Amino acid sequence: MQIRLAEIRDIDQLIQMRWDFTLEDFEINTFKRNDYQSFVVECRQFLESAISSNNWFIWVAEEEEKIVSHIYLELIHKVPRPGRITHPFVYMTNVYTIKEARNRGIGSKLITTINEWVKKEKYEFIIVWPSEESISYYQKNGYIQCKEPMEFFPELI
């Protein structure tokens, strides 16, 4: 198994994994299966931009040229504060391992690599909003649960 940052050549696999993840994650789909082609266009644009940027880092675990797990990270830059050097923090999202590769420690190896990378790069912290089912995964990998942030939804007003 190889753990590495995603490259442009990975985009087709990443698009399919995002689609599969969404189908698996939502019992009631808010989209139609025939929405796939428009999704591909939007997702490809996002991934091309993300992979070539310095703000998104998509880590993948690959076995025999097939991506079996991935974690997306976005750097969030903070407003500088007098008296200290301000480092970005990391927003973690789209954490997914294909069904056939689960419960083999691949996700934990991937997140361990990311945790070490975050320390090396001196990012302040990682924030992730876990599903109820994934809380134990994050806890066993050194994450602590914090109070929920506040949210604002403009469409509700």
The predicted structure's pLDDT at residue 28: 57
**Helix, coil or strand: residue 111:** helix
- Range of 90's domain? 2-156
Share of the chain above pLDDT 70, in %: 94
Quick check: 107 and 2 in contact, CB under 8 A? no
The predicted structure's pLDDT at residue 32: 67
Q: Report CA-CA distances (Å) from 76 to 36, 55, 87, 91, 128.
A: 30, 8, 9, 7, 13
Low-confidence ranges of the chain (pLDDT < 70): 26-34
Q: Tell me which DSSP letter residue 81 carries.
A: B
The predicted structure's pLDDT at residue 22: 86
User: How many of the other CB atoms lie within 10 Å of CB of 92?
Assistant: 20
CATH number of the domain that 45 lies in?
3.40.630.30
How many domains in the chain?
1
The predicted structure's pLDDT at residue 30: 65
Residues 65-91 have pLDDT tens digits of 999 999 999 999 999 989 888 899 999
The predicted structure's pLDDT at residue 24: 82
